[in-house]
């Protein structure tokens, strides 16, 4: 099993920045594609960003393009999400995800989730 633990959430004013981290353990993190999702109260979980297993390819949801940056350090088994120019609508619980197949693959995949970290952006 791959365990994922997020950190770095908190309360920030609109226009501010936060960096989320996701520490992976239990298996070889570099074997997994990874991503961030978020869920606001009363809404469905939303894709934020993803990165390939060795970090060569990234993708972003339309609402965060140009403001958020996903990265990973496989030597440290850690996934990051740098969030800039935060808006109140970015308020949500942010979840780290890792999967054994690339995002977009239709083949069966092992799928792992962290417990989430709260990000609150005040106006």
What is the pLDDT at residue 21? 98
The percent helix, strand, coil of the chain (3-state, each to 5) is: 5, 50, 45
What does the pLDDT average to over 73-99?
A: 97
- In sequence order, which residues have a C-beta less than 8 Å from that of residue 17 and are 6 or more positions away? 82, 83, 84, 85, 86
Mean pLDDT (the chain, rounded)? 95
What does the pLDDT average to over 59-68?
A: 97
């Amino acid at each position: 099993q791959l365990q994922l633990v997020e950190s770095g959430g908190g309360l920030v004013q609109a226009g501010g920045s936060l960096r989320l981290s996701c520490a992976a353990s239990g298996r070889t993190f570099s074997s997994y594609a990874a991503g961030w999702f978020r869920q606001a109260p009363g809404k469905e979980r939303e894709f934020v960003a993803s990165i390939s297993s060795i970090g060569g390819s990234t993708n972003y949801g339309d609402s965060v393009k140009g403001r958020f940056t996903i990265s990973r350090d496989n030597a440290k088994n850690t996934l990051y999400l740098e969030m800039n120019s935060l808006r109140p609508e970015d308020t949500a619980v942010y979840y780290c995800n890792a999967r054994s197949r690339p995002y977009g693959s239709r083949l069966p995949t092992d799928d792992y989730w962290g417990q989430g970290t709260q990000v609150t952006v005040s106006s």
